[in-house]
């Protein structure tokens, strides 16, 4: 299958060729023809599947084919709502690259940056607006963003927006967008809240889903290094020293932890940059650019800060701490093994994290290789037996999800039921079955 056969215009095909996209990804194959035909879409896909082009290409083609107002500054005709500023920048960059032979203007608005330049951009006229919900509300209240000309609305990473408490903001925005529109909703999961949103705000949506196998790239190998919590930093330094040359994205649990880790790595002669929600947009962008350009080899990030982070050919992701929400493991490792490249996901896991690891294995529907690194054998071995804990999926365990948007890093996580309950001394390290290519899959909850 080619992009030509999907019915895309020559201007878009040229831009895709410039981007070296030769073959549509599965989500693009399914979504593009339906979206071009004007259907509302519910897309089950996460970052790394090519979802941005799946909604971006038909959106651009439909805008390019419909009439613009002849006079006056242009009001947005497409609105793309995204959960984070990083994703806003990334989506806008992608859309700009796809629209390079079209005369359409793309503007981003997000929090943590000055209102002034955003107001100026909006005043100058915009065709496609990529926005985070909170800041868009600010602009709506000031009258700087007018949504009455929106023809196409995209809700990107809708599950994440709900997780971040943006539902009230999203509803306010939806109420201001014309009812006569096309709505494309993309989400990695379909919790009941997402389905409700779709029922309330979409018209006969067609559902498209990347096959479960594609949810986690089969090109990623997973490995767990059991280690005592107090020795994680030393083990990390050991791994990074042995793997010198490889670019690495390291996930930490907290903002403070990420900062401290970056400093400790620096002290150990391993220069690292950290990104998390507490940094200003300029600081985060600078760190991201340093990492993307290869100037920085090591990036330490929290889950939320790394959302949508797109680094081609990243070979290695290390979980210094396991995520508190099992699904975040999938988001994290989705940064590697992209576009058919090989990727590796290493997790440093202490006995206290056994419950979290079991939840992750359950979600992946596979065991992962356990590999004790010489010299780092844990005093408290990792026990993987015991009752299977329920999967903490994050989204629906969130109390007060309808409240005001929270800072991402304050997203509360339910604790696993059996945290630290299975740390027993004296157990030999266990080697589970290797993660089979393609065996890792997310539960289907569509
Ligand atoms: P996304 O899921 O939209 O974040 O895309 C993930 C990565 O895949 C980005 O680096 C895209 O530029 C890239 N990509 C998207 N579609 C294709 C394609 N058809 N061929 C090659 N790369 C693609």
Residue 45 alpha carbon, nearest atom of ligand 1: 2
314 CA → ligand 1 middle, Å: 14
Query: What's residue 262's pLDDT?
Result: 92
SS3 70: coil
Torsion from C-alpha of 241, 242, 245, 248, nearest 10 degrees: -70
CA separation for the pair 220, 236 (Å, rounded)? 20
CATH architecture of residue range(s) 220-370:
3-Layer(aba) Sandwich (3.40)
What's CA 393's distance to the chain center, in Å? 15
Element (H, E) at 360: helix 354-364
> Which of 12, 16, 25, 336 has most ligand 1 atoms within 8 Å of its beta carbon, as the pocket-test mutant?
25
Identify the residue whose C-alpha is closest to ligand 1 atom 11.
50
> Which of 20, 28, 52 has most ligand 1 atoms within 8 Å of its beta carbon, as the pocket-test mutant?
52
Q: Outline which parts of the chain fall under CATH 3.40.50.300.
A: 3-209, 220-370
Query: What's residue 326's pLDDT?
Result: 79
Which residue's entry shows tokens 């093994």? Answer: 337
Identify the residue whose C-alpha is closest to ligand 1 atom 22.
21
Count CB atoms within 10 A of the CB of residue 383: 18
Residue 90 alpha carbon, nearest atom of ligand 1: 4
Superfamily of domain 3-209: P-loop containing nucleotide triphosphate hydrolases (3.40.50.300)
SS3 273: strand
Identify the residue whose C-alpha is closest to ligand 1 atom 6.
48
CA separation for the pair 69, 51 (Å, rounded)? 29
**Of residues 435, 402, 441, 397, the one with CA closest to residue 416:** 397
Low-confidence ranges of the chain (pLDDT < 50): 212-214, 393-446
- In DSSP notation, 170-232 reads HHHHHHHS-SSSEEEEEES---HHHHHHHHHH-SSPEEEE--HHHHS-TTEEEEEEE--GGGH
At 370-429, the pLDDT tens digits run 999 999 999 988 887 765 555 554 443 333 333 333 333 333 333 332 222 232 222 322
At 33-74, the pLDDT tens digits run 999 999 999 999 877 788 999 999 999 999 999 876 656 678
SS3 307: coil
**Pocket (CB within 6 angstroms of ligand 1):** 21, 23-25, 28, 47-53, 310, 312, 338-339
Which residue's entry shows tokens 């010489």? Answer: 374
Query: What's residue 256's pLDDT?
Result: 87
SS3 118: helix
- In DSSP notation, 10-66 reads HHHHHHHHHTT--S--HHHHHHHHHHHTT--EEEE--TTSSHHHHHHHHHHHHHHHS
Q: Model-level pTM?
A: 0.59
Q: What are phi and psi of 22, to 5 degrees?
A: -105, -40
């Amino acid at each position: 299958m080619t992009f030509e056969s999907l019915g895309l215009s020559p201007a878009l095909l040229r831009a895709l060729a410039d981007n070296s996209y030769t073959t549509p990804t599965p989500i693009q194959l399914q979504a593009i023809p339906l979206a071009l035909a004007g259907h509302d879409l519910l897309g089950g896909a996460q970052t790394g599947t090519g979802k941005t082009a799946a909604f971006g290409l038909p959106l651009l083609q439909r805008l390019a084919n419909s009439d613009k107002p002849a006079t006056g500054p242009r009001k947005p005709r497409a609105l793309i709502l995204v959960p984070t500023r990083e994703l806003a920048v990334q989506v806008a960059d992608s859309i700009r690259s796809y629209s390079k032979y079209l005369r359409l203007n793309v503007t981003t608005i997000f929090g943590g940056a000055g209102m002034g330049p955003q107001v100026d951009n909006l005043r100058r006229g915009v065709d496609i607006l990529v926005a985070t919900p909170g800041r868009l509300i600010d602009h709506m209240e000031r009258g700087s963003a007018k949504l009455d000309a929106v023809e196409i609305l995209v809700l990107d990473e809708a599950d994440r927006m709900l997780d971040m408490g943006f539902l009230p903001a999203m509803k306010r925005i939806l109420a201001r967008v014309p009812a006569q529109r096309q709505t494309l909703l993309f989400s990695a999961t379909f919790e009941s809240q997402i389905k409700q949103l779709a029922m309330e705000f979409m018209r006969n949506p067609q559902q498209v889903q990347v096959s479960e196998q594609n949810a986690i790239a089969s090109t990623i190998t997973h490995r767990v290094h059991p280690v005592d919590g107090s020795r994680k930093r030393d083990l990390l330094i050991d791994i990074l020293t042995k793997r010198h040359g490889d670019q690495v994205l390291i996930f930490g649990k907290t903002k403070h932890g990420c900062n401290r880790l970056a400093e400790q790595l620096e002290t150990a002669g391993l220069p690292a940059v950290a990104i998390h929600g507490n940094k200003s947009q300029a600081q985060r962008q600078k760190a991201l650019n340093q990492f993307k350009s290869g100037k920085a080899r090591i990036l330490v990030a929290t889950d939320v800060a790394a959302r949508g982070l797109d680094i081609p050919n990243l070979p290695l992701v290390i979980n210094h701490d396991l995520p508190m929400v099992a699904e975040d493991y999938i988001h994290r490792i989705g940064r590697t093994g992209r576009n058919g490249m090989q990727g590796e996901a290493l997790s440093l896991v202490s006995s206290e994290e056994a419950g979290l690891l079991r939840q992750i294995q359950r979600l992946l529907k596979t065991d992962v290789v356990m590999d004790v690194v010489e010299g780092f054998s844990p005093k408290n071995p990792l026990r993987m037996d015991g009752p299977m804990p329920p999967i903490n999926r994050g989204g629906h365990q969130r109390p007060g999800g309808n409240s005001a948007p929270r800072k991402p890093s304050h997203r509360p996580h339910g604790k696993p039921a059996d945290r630290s309950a299975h740390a027993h001394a004296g157990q030999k390290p266990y080697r589970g079955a290797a993660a089979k290519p393609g065996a890792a899959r997310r539960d289907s909850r569509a």
